[in-house]
Structure 1
Amino acid sequence: MIDKVFNKTISKQFEFDEEVASVFDDMLDRSVPFYKQMQKLSISFANNFLEDGSNVYDLGCSTASTLIELSKSSKYNLNLVGIDNSNAMLERASKKAKAFGVEIKLLNADIFDVDLKDAKVVFSNYTLQFIRPLNREKLVKKIYDSLEDGGVFIFSEKLVSKNSFLNKQFIDEYYSFKKTQGYSEFEISQKREALENVLIPYTEDENKKMIEDAGFKHCETVFKWVNFALFIAIK
């Protein structure tokens, strides 16, 4: 379905409810620059660290696209676990996984309540930015502790710039991108208002410091478009 969630006046803050879930794949493709390319890169890097029986977690898995694509591309038999606190998202994830013949354990839970065990790869695609900063650092430490030595945390995030002038340019460039994807000025402004105080982005340096503070020995930016970036952190 085509994303028309914000073509009307909003009445609440952004949430991953049934209305958003029904159009989420289209929303991602049209709202996140180079989303599919970053997803493909994530999967390519992940495959370099995997082996038969590896545990792979996707935190905030939404409709499970990343895990499904990983399963389709990997030569290994993997234990795939998708975690999300939106039942509407997980219902679609379950249907998609079944359609593609991919076995995924889908958990409707708060990430902090799930016991992550012996992970080889942990994905988090535009999830950390929705977690309050104090809890964000705790979650990254939990991810670090869950990974086997040599395991990787692969995550994508929206960014802000420390430079206010550049940050304004970042926003303008991003809104220009959204207009090319068919979103109107009204839809763009409505979504921005809905996300106010819900999505809290860090700078690129703040993301890397958070990773290093958790104990990871290396963190690299492997793709960046203006204010969107893909990172890989190695334990």
Structure 2
Amino acid sequence: MNDKVFTKPIKKHFEFDEEVAAVFDDMLKRSVPFYGESQKITKFFALKSIKEESIVYDLGSSTASLLISIAKDLAVDARLIGLDNSEAMLEQARKKAQAFGVSIELENADILEYDYKDADLFISNFTLQFIRPLVREELVKKIYDSLKSDGIFIFSEKVISHHSKLNKDLIECYYDYKKEQGYSEYEIVQKREALENVLVPYSEDENIKMAKNCGFKHCEVIFRWANFATFIAIK
């Protein structure tokens, strides 16, 4: 289903409700540059890190596209657990998992409060940016503490630049991309307003510093397009 959510005037801040869930896959493909490529590289490193009886968590798993893709190519017996606090997203994910015939676990959960078991891998696709900055580092520390030795955390985020002109140009570049995907100027403005104070991005350096502050021995970008980046942090 095509994303038409912002073709009409907005009445509330952005929410992952039934309307968004129904078009979310299309929204991602058209709103996140090279989303498919960032998912491929995430899957590559995920499959290399998953061992027999591994536990894998996908935080903010939405419609579970990545977990389903990983499950289809998984050569060992492991638990793939998707956590999301949107029941509408989880319902879409359950339907997709059933259609593809894959075994993944999906739970309605608060990722800040969840009781994680020892895991080899955490994944977070454009989720941290929706966590309030006051508790964002607290979540990353919880992820670090729940990882086994040499475990990895792969996360993708929208990023900003602290150079004002460069940041403005990056935003313009991104909006040009969205127009190429068929979004109108009106839709772009509507979504920007809906996300105001809901999506709070960090810079590339701030994301890396946060990971290292939480104990990760190494963190770097493995994929980037303008103001979208995928990071890998190693315990």
TM class, shorter-chain normalised? over 0.9
Q: 1:1-235 residue pairs with structure 2 within 5 A?
A: 1-235=1-235
Contact 2:83–2:111 at 8 Å: present in 1 too?
yes
Report the alpha carbon displacement of residue 74 of structure 1 after superposing the two structures with TM: 2.1
1:126 positional shift = 0.1
The separation in 1 between residues aligned to 2:135 and 2:107, in whole angstroms, is 20
C-alpha distance in 1, partners of 2:100/2:116? 25
Sequence identity of aligned pairs in percent? 64
Deviation at 1:50, TM superposition (A): 1.4
Measured in 2, the distance between the counterparts of 1:127 and 1:50 equals: 21
TM normalised by structure 1 equals 0.99
Give 1:147 deviation, angstroms: 0.3
Following superposition, the deviation at residue 216 of structure 1 comes to 0.3
AA matched with 1:140: V
Q: Which amino acid aligns with 2:100?
A: F
Alignment length (residue pairs):
235
Q: Determine helix, strand or coil for the equivalent of 2:112.
A: helix
Query: Alpha-carbon deviation of 1:113?
Result: 2.1
**Runs of 4+ in structure 1 displaced over 2 angstroms?**
none
Q: CA deviation at 1:174?
A: 0.1
Equivalent residues of 2:71, 2:104 under 8 A apart: no
Q: Which amino acid aligns with 2:209?
A: K
Displacement after TM superposition at 1:227 (Å): 0.1
| CA deviation after TM superposition for structure 1 residue 104, in Å | 1.4
| Alpha-carbon offset, residue 81 of structure 1 | 0.5
How far the C-alpha of 1:120 sits from its partner, in A, is 0.6
For residue 64 of structure 2, what is the amino acid of its counterpart? A
Amino acid paired to 1:48 = K
User: Does the residue aligned with 1:152 lie in a helix, a strand or coil?
Assistant: strand
Root-mean-square deviation (CA, aligned residues, Å) is 0.6
Q: SS where residue 77 of structure 1 aligns?
A: coil
3-state secondary structure, aligned to 1:111: coil
Aligned partner of residue 199 in structure 2, secondary structure: coil
Counterparts of 1:62 and 1:48 in 2: how far apart (Å)?
Answer: 23
Q: In structure 1, how many angstroms separate the alpha carbons of the residues matched to 2:79 and 2:46? A: 14
TM-score, normalization by structure 2: 0.99
Residue deviations 1:6-44 (CA, integer Å, cap 9, x gap): 001100000000000000000000000000110010010
**Deviations 1:91-129 (CA, angstroms, capped at 9, x unpaired):** 000011111111111111111221111111100000000
The residue type equivalent to 2:231 in the other structure is F
